[in-house]
Amino acid sequence: MHTWRRIQADGAEWEVRIISEPGQEERDIIEFRPLDGGTQPRRTAVERNQLPDMTDDDLAAAFRRAAPIAGDHYGRPGKPMPDAR
């Protein structure tokens, strides 16, 4: 069983996972999914294969630039992505 990395941010615990397909792009799409389910997941792109080497500070910086998947950086609602559950 694979254990995803986790971080504490915005008063919640978030699971961090790669959701892009291998060979799909030159960057990985990482998703921050809240464990409590009370907040929208967030996504951002990082260099390919960078996630395993990221420190907690690097993850916190990536979290700050990640956008909610059903909105934009300004908190405006948007159309949810089809793979968001």
Per-residue pLDDT of 19-56, as tens digits, reads 877 666 788 889 999 998 778 889 998 888 888 899 98
pLDDT, average across residues 75-83: 59
Radius of gyration of the chain (CA): 13
Output the pTM of the full model. 0.73
Separation of CA 2 from chain center: 17
Separation of CA 18 from chain center: 8
- The band of 61, judged by pLDDT with boundaries at 50, 70 and 90, is very high
φ, ψ for residue 56, nearest 5 deg: -60, -35
| CA dihedral sign, ordered 3, 1, 22, 12 | negative
d(CA 67, CA 44): 7
